[in-house]
Amino acid sequence: MSYNSVVLVKQVPDTKAVTGKAMNDDGTVNRAALPAVFNPEDLNALEMALAVKAKHGGTVTVLTMGLPSACDVLRQGLFRGADRAILVTDRRAAASDTLATSYILSCAVKKIEDVDLVFCGRQAIDGDTAQVGPQAAEKLGFPQITYVEELELDGKTITAKRGVGSGWEKVQCQLPALLTVLDTANDPRPAVSRQMMWFKKAKGPTEVKATGGTDADIESLRDRGLLIDEWDLDHLEADLQWCGKSGSPTKVNRIQSVVLTASEHKSIEPTDDGIRELIHELIEDHTIG
Amino acid sequence: MIEVNRNGEVWVYAEQIDGKLADVSLELMGRGRELADTLKVKLGAVLAGRSVSEAAKELGYYGADKVYVVDNDDLGIYQTCSYTKVICELIQKHKPQIMLYGASHIGRDLAPRVASTMRAGLTADCTDLQIDDYTEPKTKDVHKNLLQQIRPAFGGNIIATIINYDRWPQMATVREGVMAMPDKDLKKKAEIINEESYITAEDLPLNILDRHVAKKKVNLKAARVIVTGGAGVGSKENFKMIWDLAHVLGGVPGGSRAAVDLGYIDHDHQVGQTGTTVRPALYIAVGVSGAIQHVAGMSESSRIIAINNDPDAPIFSVAHYGIVGDYQEVLPKMIKAIRAKD
Ligand SMILES: Cc1cc2nc3c(=O)[nH]c(=O)nc-3n(C[C@H](O)[C@H](O)[C@H](O)COP(=O)(O)OP(=O)(O)OC[C@H]3O[C@@H](n4cnc5c(N)ncnc54)[C@H](O)[C@@H]3O)c2cc1C
Ligand SMILES: Nc1ncnc2c1ncn2[C@@H]1O[C@H](COP(=O)(O)O)[C@@H](O)[C@H]1O
């Protein structure tokens, strides 16, 4: 049998690219200066979905919730072989914590027909929370398999190997199911240049309008299979009390920037004498003995 | 979701595998005790599993006032849905105000599922937990005695304090090693409360075919001395010098993530945010630059020596002793000096 997969992908600031350019004068991080990237483990999730499609047939849909600029990661998905891209964007979804985000994403998945598998990354590098996957699974009423490294499908049965710290576990369940995928699961394929040439023209309606496009331009994209679907909370028939701020039990009280400042430390000369003295001092204060 | 309940207890999820309690759960009993004392409420542990009466007693030794036990044949092996059901039933019934979980593989699988079912808030990987009041900036409403959930975000570049004032329980996960392990006191006894749960086939959607959990080969947390090598060590062969220095000090070798990724040493030895958090008496960082994710896992060490040939390496900012130089020259001198003292 063939399988319909949905991959939840997130656009995140590249927290690894905290270089001089992204620092404010006071030593804090200028978040706006960080490049936006495809959340790394979501690429592993996408790769796993594409491998299922290659082996068994079916479809792969990439789905994201974010600002219209998040269409970038959806295009990245199309470049790699996804069949369909959906952007969920709505002002009323702003300030959603993981609970509200997972509710909105689960409403979107329910709008997609005949979903067999939902893939997530293990965690997103902006917060490293690893919560949206399990929470979306609960909202969908799907079993969840977290930390997936390998996957086999046989009819409606899925067998997965999960990495659990110092070991692994092999588990089985019936579809539909939600999986979160580890970065060690596979090597994500790069974009295919032929698909890149074609899908770089893909856009969502808001993007089209923002660049002066008309409704006719949107229709023309749709006719050519280049329109990124854009859904708002009304389309999802989401209950607004569970979205955005009101749907988010966690609130940020304070944010402090980490500033690495030089502390007082004792300089030791890298000579025999210097080091002998250091060891002596450590013995004196019973650090070593 | 439960209502704000100021008399609610502080709870810790007592994670166990085959009846053996996870260290992180015992560590949480320590901080849980402090939070409960501040709030003047009882500290409860929630224990689900099969044949867990020994573990229940153990939780008392580590400071629990009460242990809620669900002992059931169908709970022999952890599964997300069955364990979620048990915990949500207990939360509904007893309405704790705080619920803490270890940020282990099990905790990070379970806690979000519970949070979603309860529609409650959850903050992952907290590095500190405190009780404090909060004033809403707009309404000036004061919420007394909230759990302040403190965690790094943004790859460790910011520290956020998260609160949850309306939909309780206030829930958080904490990584192993972040909180200090409380002393075990065999005189302490907890009240054991046996609870029932009815587990159906629907609550057990997974079939666990095979499980292979290797024991951790090293115990970094218990080491008094840790000598950590970073990417600056340059090769697996050179890493032998790290082992040698650790050996003469009666310590254990550690590695930065870069050293682990380069294959110099096993992941079991990794120190830092995605490795182990350690607080030994002596920590020696060799050829480690001092990235925030590394520092997060070792800055609480009593004495820190940094050896790096770059005088501007950030590791010096957390060190008590700094040696600017090539480790290949410094380490043999250290080994010699230590041997000479005996
Ligand atoms: C989400 C996330 C989680 C992470 N978790 C962790 C974690 O748990 N633990 C961790 O360690 N990292 C972690 N990292 C990675 C971290 O950001 C750094 O990349 C890593 O710590 C760098 O390792 P390093 O210091 O060994 O290597 P480098 O940064 O490459 O530093 C090597 C150092 O060696 C010095 N050196 C070179 N030659 C010599 C010599 N001959 N003698 C003396 N000194 C020399 C250099 O001056 C340099 O300072 C994480 C990153 C992210 C994004
Ligand atoms: N806004 C979002 N849009 C789509 N997927 C998301 C979003 N946020 C989180 N996810 C998915 O949930 C996973 C875990 O995210 P997090 O809980 O933020 O660490 C990510 O790897 C994504 O697969």
The answer to whether the bond into B112 is cis (omega within 30° of 0) is no
Query: Alpha-carbon distance A113 to A259, whole Å?
Result: 49
User: What are the tens digits of pLDDT across the range A96-140?
Assistant: 999 999 999 999 999 999 999 999 999 998 888 999 999 999 999
Least confident of A18-22, A210-214, B83-87: A18-22
Chain B contact set for A133 (CB, 8 A) = 112
pLDDT at residue A25 in the model: 63
Beta partners for B48?
A: B70
At residue A20, does pLDDT exceed 60? no
Q: Which SS3 state, helix, strand or coil, does residue A66 take?
A: coil
Which A residues, 201 through 230, put their C-beta within 8 Å of a C-beta on chain B?
A: none
**Pocket flag, ligand 2, residue A188 (CB < 6 Å):** no
Q: Is the CB of B291 under 6 A from ligand 1?
A: yes
- pLDDT higher than 60, residue A260: no
Nearest to B116 among A99, A146, A266 (CB): A99
According to the model, what pLDDT value does residue B219 have?
A: 84
Share of chain A above pLDDT 70, in %: 93
Element containing residue A152 per DSSP (H, E): strand A144-154
Q: Which residue has the higher pLDDT, A249 or A34?
A: A249
> Would the pLDDT of A261 be above 60?
no
Q: In Å, how far are A187, B154, B273, B275, B292 from A184, measured between CA atoms?
A: 8, 22, 18, 16, 23
pTM over 0.80: yes
pLDDT above 90 covers a percentage of chain A that reads 82
Determine whether the interchain pair B123/A250 forms a contact, defined as Cβ–Cβ distance below 8 Å.
yes
pLDDT at A263: 60
Longest CA–CA span in chain A (Å) reads 82
Nearest-angstrom CA–CA distance, B338 and B201: 62
Per-residue b or e along B225-262, where b marks 16 or more CB atoms closer than 10 Å to that residue's CB:
bbbbbbbbbbeeebbebbebbbebbebbbbbbbbbbeb
State which H helix or E strand residue A194 sits in.
helix A193-199
Ligand nearest to the CA of B285: 1
* Complex ipTM: 0.86
Answer whether B153 sits within 8 Å of A265, measured CB to CB.
no
Q: Each residue of A43-59: pLDDT tens digit?
A: 999 999 999 999 999 99
The answer to whether A54 touches A71, Cβ cutoff 8 Å, is no
Ligand 2 contact, A42 CB (< 6 A)? yes
Asked whether residue A262 carries a pLDDT value surpassing 60, the answer given is no
The sheet carrying B98-102 orders its strands as B122-126, B170-174, B98-102, B10-13, B43-49, B66-71, B191-194
Q: Which of B157, B212, B338 has the CB atom closest to A15's CB atom? A: B157
pLDDT value at residue A22: 65
Q: B 75-94 residues with CB below 8 A of A?
A: 80-81, 84
CB neighbourhood size of A241 (10 A) = 9
Q: Do the beta carbons of residue A14 and residue A34 sit within 8 Å?
A: yes
**Taking all residues of chain A, what is their mean pLDDT, rounded to a whole number?**
93
Q: Cα(A123)–Cα(A12) distance, rounded to whole angstroms?
A: 11
pLDDT band at A21 (very low <50, low <70, confident <90, very high): low
Is residue A258's pLDDT more than 80? no
pLDDT of residue A259: 62
Sites in chain B below the pLDDT cut of 70: 155-156, 342
